[in-house]
Chain A
Amino acid sequence: MPKSLTPRLAALRDEIHGHAKEFGLDFFDTIFEMVSYDEMNMVAAYGGFPTRYPHWRWGMEYEQLAKGYEYGLSKIYELVINNDPCYAYLMESNPEVDQKLVMAHVYGHCDFFKNNFSFRHTNRRMIDEMANHATRVRRWVDKIGVEKVEDFIDRTLSLENLIDQHAPHIRRNPDPRKAEDELKANERVEGFKVGREYMRGYINPSEFLDSQRKKVEDEKQRAKKFPERAQRDVLLFLLEEAPLEPWEADILAILRDEAYYFAPQGQTKIMNEGWASYWHSTIMTRRALRDDEIIDYADHHSGTMGTRPGAINPYKLGIELWRDIEERWNKGRFGKEWDECDDLRARRSWDKKLGAGREKIFEVRKHYNDITFIDTFLTPEFAMEQKLFVYGFNDKRNSWEILDREFRKVKNKLLQGLTNFGQPIIEVVDGNFENRSELLLTHRHDGQDLKGDYARETLRNLQSLWRRPVNILTRYDNKGTMLRFDGQSHSERKVDL
Chain B
Amino acid sequence: MTLKIHQDHSRFKQIVRGKIKANLRKYVQKGEMIGKKGKDAISIPIPFIDIPRFKYGHKEQGGVGQGEGEVGQQLGPGAVEPGEGKQAGQGEGDHALEVDVTLDELAQILGEELQLPNIERRQNERLISQKIRYTGINTTGPESLRHFKRTFKQALRRQIASGTYDPARPVIVPTREDRRYRSYKLQDLPETNAVIIYMMDVSGSMGDEQKEIVRIESFWLDTWLRHQYKGLEARYIIHDAVAREVDRDTFFHTRESGGTMISSAYKLCRDIILADYPKSAWNIYPFHFSDGDNWSADDTRQCIEMLRNDVLPNVNQFAYGQVESPYGSGQFIKDLREAVGDTPNVALSEIADKDAIYASIKDFLGKGR
Contact = CB atoms under 8 A, between A and B. Distances in A.
A310 B92 CA distance: 15
A399 B68 contact: no
B53 A55 contact: no
Given A38-B3, A59-B9, A62-B9, A388 B64 contact: yes
B7 to A, nearest CB: 6
Contacts of B298: none
* Interface SS, A side: mixed
Contacts of B55: 161, 423-424, 450-451, 454
Interface in A392-426: 392-394, 397, 399-405, 410, 413-414, 417, 422-424, 426
B157 A295 contact: yes
A293 to B, nearest CB: 11
B13 interface: yes
B95 A387 contact: no
A306 B62 CA distance: 20
A42 B4 contact: yes
Interface string A479-491: 0000000000000
Given A401-B73, A451-B57, A309 B3 contact: no
Contact of A57 (B12, B54, B75): B12
Interface string B60-97: 11111111111111111101110000111000010100
Q: How large is the interface on A (under 10, 10 to 19, 20 to 34, 35 or more residues)?
A: 35 or more
A199 interface: no
Nearest to A447: B60
A390 interface: yes
Given A56-B11, A389-B69, A401-B72, A308 B5 contact: no
Given A402-B70, A402-B73, A391 B52 contact: no
Contacts of B80: 310-311, 391, 400
A389 B14 CA distance: 43
A309 B79 CA distance: 6
Contact of A390 (B12, B64, B72, B93): B64
Contacts of A311: 63, 65-66, 79-81
Contact of B13 (A45, A59, A161): A59
B246 interface: no
B153 A295 contact: yes
A63 B9 contact: yes
B326 to A, nearest CB: 38
Interface in B1-34: 1, 3-5, 7-15
Nearest to B80: A310
A265 interface: no
Contacts of B1: 36
B160 A294 contact: yes
Interface stretch (A16-24, A152-160, A272-280, A356-364): A152-160
A56 B12 contact: yes
Contacts of A58: 5, 8-9
A59 B5 contact: yes
B31 to A, nearest CB: 24
Given A62-B5, A400-B80, A417 B64 contact: yes
A71 to B, nearest CB: 10
Contacts of A154: 51
Contacts of B62: 390-393, 403, 413
B54 A64 contact: no
Interface of B: 1, 3-5, 7-15, 48-49, 51-57, 59-77, 79-81, 86-88, 93, 95, 100, 153, 156-157, 160
13 contacts: A38-B3, A42-B3, A55-B8, A56-B14, A308-B67, A308-B79, A309-B75, A388-B66, A391-B63, A391-B65, A391-B75, A454-B52, A472-B54
4 nearest A-B residue pairs (beta carbon): A59-B12, A310-B80, A457-B52, A392-B62
Given A389-B64, A405-B71, 15 more contacts: A56-B11, A58-B9, A309-B66, A309-B75, A310-B63, A310-B75, A310-B81, A312-B63, A317-B66, A388-B65, A388-B66, A389-B65, A389-B71, A400-B79, A400-B80
